[in-house]
Amino acid sequence: MSELLDKAREYESKKEKTIAEELRPLFHLIPRCGWMNDPNGFSFYNGKYHMFYQYNPYKTEWGPMHWGHAVSEDLLTWDYLPAAIAPDEEYDTDGCFSGSAIEMEDGKQMLVYTGVRREEDEDGNWHDIQTQCIAFGDGKDYVKYKNNPVIKSESLPEGAGKYDFRDPKIWKENGMYHIVVGNKTADGDGQILQYSSEDGINWNYEKVVIKNNNRFGAMWECPDYFNLDGKQVLMASPQDMLPEELEFHNGNGTICVIGTLGKEGIFSEENCQAIDYGIDFYAPQTILTKDGRRIMIGWLQNWDTCGIRRDDFPWFGQMSFPREIAIRAGRLLQKPISEIVNYYGKRISRKSVLITDSCSLSSIEGRCVDMTVKVKSTGANLSYKKFEIKFADNGKAYSKIAFNPEESIVKIDRKHSGSRRAVVHQRRCRVSDNKGEITLRLILDRYSMELFINDGEQVMSMGIYTDIRAEGISFKAFGELLMDVTMHELKR
């Protein structure tokens, strides 16, 4: 074990003892201490789910990228393990960037990651040299392969850029190992490349899976590629996107490209949509569980919103709630993982409540809840112009969800949540036109809100850092409507 990794492990084991339990979410994985970004190595190994993550243990800011490590038996209760890898070799001295993990035939777990080394060119410009590297371990301790990197820029196809080449996602199929890797072409456009290997060590370039063709941003980061419900799905996180109506927003986003595999494995696109329509979601990875469910977890943060933070927090960054995903009618469907029912506490339900103004309901409150709200007009015609839910409310600070049935638009808003920075605080998305009927399911977990609309047709996520004693929840109708609400307290 290297001196750098020893230092990180010693630091995190001491630092975590200083973090009060109430400063951690109940179910959303945060770093053991310091900074977290992309999920890495999401996998099942030795009877447990493993999640690694981009990690700077020393500060709540992006820094020298290590891999943090946690394990879980149900994807909701996590236990920290020591940091897995540190930037301690010449080829990754400037960071162990994102990647994935898989169990090998010999029983070892292999980590596949991007090693980064900064290099000055002849004109005095600095560039990140990004190569693909591997390490082998037993689920706790890992040793980097002596002949790293295993994929260098020399293997890139014609037209590929040699500097932006990162985030390998690995899988095994028909006895062969495969990875997809994000790449920016020499002329600044995104593409996803595929490599194959018989042993997971010696890799050969196969093909371009998909080209951006200047549609969605530039560099495509953190790809995932899998079959789901008879469709082939590619997920990626483009940088520098331009907005398209309410489907895609500016900056760093996420896309889900749904299609089929034709002759010779050619990917044919059929639909492209956003994965999350909210403020904070990036770089998702998926896993296939033993019982056949495809589960997705992303970084519940965004590079464009890192300005909203609590200066008194000993951590920054959290993972999303695990989501079961499916393809229905050619679109992505997402629901909170079903294991959530094992953490249900008190249940409160109200049926056919007539809402004509602002109101609160007895016992409907809290910051760790699973709450489903269904609203509809009181008659055949639309009887209201807007519906709002306020939450994390203490009379001064609050966050809000608003639904405009005339335009079929849902908006999330955290500008009054206590933030002192004018970063992104609102997002909108267009939903199905159901004549004023809508189902809104909120997962609140201390410092986040994830909204599942109409049984998961769309999801909107955001971090909130309001004091956790702000537990008020209220409802408001502009006009009149009928509301059903069911809330389960979440307990661990």
Q: Are residues 326 and 213 in the same domain?
A: yes
Q: Are residues 244 and 358 in the same domain?
A: no
Please state the pTM of the whole predicted model: 0.97
Q: Are residues 327 and 370 in the same domain?
A: no
- Domain encompassing residue 101: 3-336
Q: Are residues 210 and 256 in the same domain?
A: yes
Predicted confidence at residue 311, as pLDDT, reads 81
Q: Are residues 136 and 179 in the same domain?
A: yes
Last residue of a domain, one of 336, 367, 393: 336
User: How far apart are alpha carbons 475 and 401 in whole angstroms?
Assistant: 10
DSSP letter string, 328-348? ETTEEEEEE-GGGGGGEEEEE
Residues contacting residue 210 through CB under 8 Å, at least 6 positions apart:
191, 192, 234, 257, 267, 269
Could you tell me how far CA 150 lies from the centroid of its own chain? 27
Predicted confidence at residue 15, as pLDDT, reads 96
Examine the residue annotation and report whether 38 is marked as an active-site residue of this protein.
yes
Catalytic residue among 38, 167, 276, 393, which? 38
**pLDDT tens per residue, the chain (492 residues)?**
799 999 999 999 999 999 999 899 999 999 999 999 999 999 999 999 999 999 999 999 999 999 999 999 999 999 999 999 999 999 999 999 999 999 999 999 999 999 999 988 878 888 899 999 999 999 999 999 999 999 998 999 999 998 999 999 999 999 999 999 999 999 999 999 999 999 999 999 999 999 999 999 999 999 999 999 999 999 999 999 999 999 999 999 999 999 999 888 899 999 999 999 999 999 999 999 989 999 999 999 999 988 888 888 899 999 999 999 999 999 999 999 999 999 999 999 999 999 999 999 999 999 999 999 999 999 999 999 999 999 999 999 999 999 999 999 999 999 999 988 888 999 999 999 999 999 999 999 999 999 999 999 999 999 999 999 999 999 999 999 999 999 999 999
Could you tell me how far CA 314 lies from the centroid of its own chain? 21
User: How far apart are alpha carbons 166 and 148 in whole angstroms?
Assistant: 15
Q: Are residues 320 and 351 in the same domain?
A: no
Angle formed at CA 203 by CA 104 and CA 4, multiple of 5 degrees? 65
Number of domains in the chain: 2
- Name beta bridge partners: 327: 332
Q: Are residues 106 and 62 in the same domain?
A: yes
User: How far apart are alpha carbons 471 and 398 in whole angstroms?
Assistant: 9
Q: Are residues 325 and 381 in the same domain?
A: no
Query: How would you write 84-150 as a 3-class SS string?
Result: EECCCCHHHCCCEEEEEEEECCCCCEEEEEEEEEEEECCCCCEEEEEEEEEEEECCCCEEECCCCCC
How far CA 323 is from CA of 161, 251, 284, 338, 443, in Å, comes to: 34, 24, 10, 9, 11
Predicted confidence at residue 124, as pLDDT, reads 82
Q: Are residues 327 and 304 in the same domain?
A: yes
State the CATH number of the domain containing residue 174. 2.115.10.20
Q: Are residues 391 and 412 in the same domain?
A: yes
Q: Are residues 324 and 357 in the same domain?
A: no
Last residue of a domain, one of 308, 336, 364: 336
Q: Are residues 332 and 348 in the same domain?
A: no
Of 151, 150, 223, 145, nearest to 184 by C-alpha is 223
Last residue of a domain, one of 336, 360, 376: 336
